[in-house]
């Protein structure tokens, strides 16, 4: 087995089980422990695993990535591209808010090059991920009502948090955005919290795949003009995007 194949096997085992032992992997692959330790060190340098005494563990908490593998989640490839583009807007020294959502989580996976950052979030998975991968960052997790299916925090306590902070950039997910009806959300409590998130940011960056453009949900959040930047994928309706640009909204297509 070649080195790349061996390291891919190790990485898959870490993702499946959460942690692995160098001794066990060495026995399974019939190679020396020294070889496996070198492999683990290489993977750790790439921020793909976290080294432990005698082995390695997953950087992403086990189960946190599962929601991206369910059939309920669509356009994952597009969301990963959007998240990568979003991460490139983050600079050292920023105070950023990553709203709960799959694209926000993916954005958190792409900030390895940042050295100094304050991250505020209303999602337990995002906070846990950053705490494990970037313990040097300042991390603030809002309080609120826990939505068990998404691990997000919403409601009056979360709203109070966002009423009392100021951030450089807020990265928000969108359920629907329509030129006339504005930004909308399915859940009225989440809609209220999203309003507070938008109001505390100097720059609001909306992350949404093409399916959300022109879609209208039941609860109004904010007018389209509250967005400073929208990042979407290449299947987005070009006429819709041109109208956004006509409103002085920066549009990034990935």
Domains of the chain: 3-58 (1.10.10.10), 66-253 (3.40.50.1360)
> Tell me, what's the pLDDT at 64?
45
> 18-21 long-range contacts, Cβ below 8 Å, gap at least 24?
18/57, 18/58, 18/62, 19/52, 19/55, 19/56, 19/57, 19/58, 20/55, 20/56, 20/57, 21/54, 21/55
Q: What are phi and psi of 230, to 5 degrees?
A: -125, 130
A 10 A CB-CB count for 13 gives 18
Asked if residues 224 and 184 have their Cβ atoms less than 8 Å apart, the reply is no
> Tell me, what's the pLDDT at 146?
95
> Tell me, what's the pLDDT at 67?
46
Q: In the chain, which residues have pLDDT < 70? A: 60-74
Segment 42-85, tens digit of pLDDT = 998 888 888 887 888 877 554 444 444 443 456 788 988 999 99
Nearest to 203 by CA among 172, 175, 174: 172
Asked if residues 26 and 32 have their Cβ atoms less than 8 Å apart, the reply is yes
> Tell me, what's the pLDDT at 46?
83
Q: What are phi and psi of 97, to 5 degrees?
A: -120, 120
Write the burial class of residue 246 (CB in 10 Å: 0-12 exposed, 13-18 middle, 19+ buried).
Answer: exposed
Q: What does each C-alpha distance from 130 to 82, 95, 99, 120, 251 come to in angstroms?
A: 19, 14, 13, 11, 27
> Tell me, what's the pLDDT at 47?
80
């Amino acid at each position: 087995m070649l080195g790349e194949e061996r390291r891919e096997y190790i990485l898959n085992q870490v993702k499946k089980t959460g942690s692995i032992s160098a001794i066990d992997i060495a026995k399974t692959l019939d190679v020396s422990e020294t070889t496996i330790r070198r492999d683990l060190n290489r993977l750790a340098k790439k921020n793909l695993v976290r080294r432990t005494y005698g082995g390695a563990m997953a950087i992403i908490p086990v189960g946190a990535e599962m929601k991206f593998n369910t059939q309920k989640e669509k356009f994952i490839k597009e969301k990963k591209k959007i998240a990568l583009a979003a991460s490139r807007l983050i600079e050292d020294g920023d105070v950023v808010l990553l709203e709960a959502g799959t694209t926000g989580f993916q954005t958190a996976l792409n900030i390895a090059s940042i050295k100094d950052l304050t991250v505020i979030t209303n999602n337990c998975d995002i906070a846990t991920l950053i705490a494990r991968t970037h313990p040097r960052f300042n991390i603030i997790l809002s309080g609120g009502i826990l939505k068990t299916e998404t691990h997000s925090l919403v409601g009056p306590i979360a709203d109070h948090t966002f009423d009392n902070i100021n951030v450089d950039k807020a990265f928000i997910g969108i359920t629907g955005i329509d030129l006339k009806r504005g930004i909308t959300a399915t859940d009225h409590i989440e809609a209220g919290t999203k309003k507070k998130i938008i109001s505390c940011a100097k720059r609001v960056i909306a992350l949404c795949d093409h399916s959300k453009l022109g879609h209208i949900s039941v609860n109004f959040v904010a007018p389209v003009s509250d967005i400073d930047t929208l990042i979407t994928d290449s299947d987005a309706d070009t006429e819709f995007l041109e109208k956004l640009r006509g409103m002085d909204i920066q549009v990034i297509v990935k």
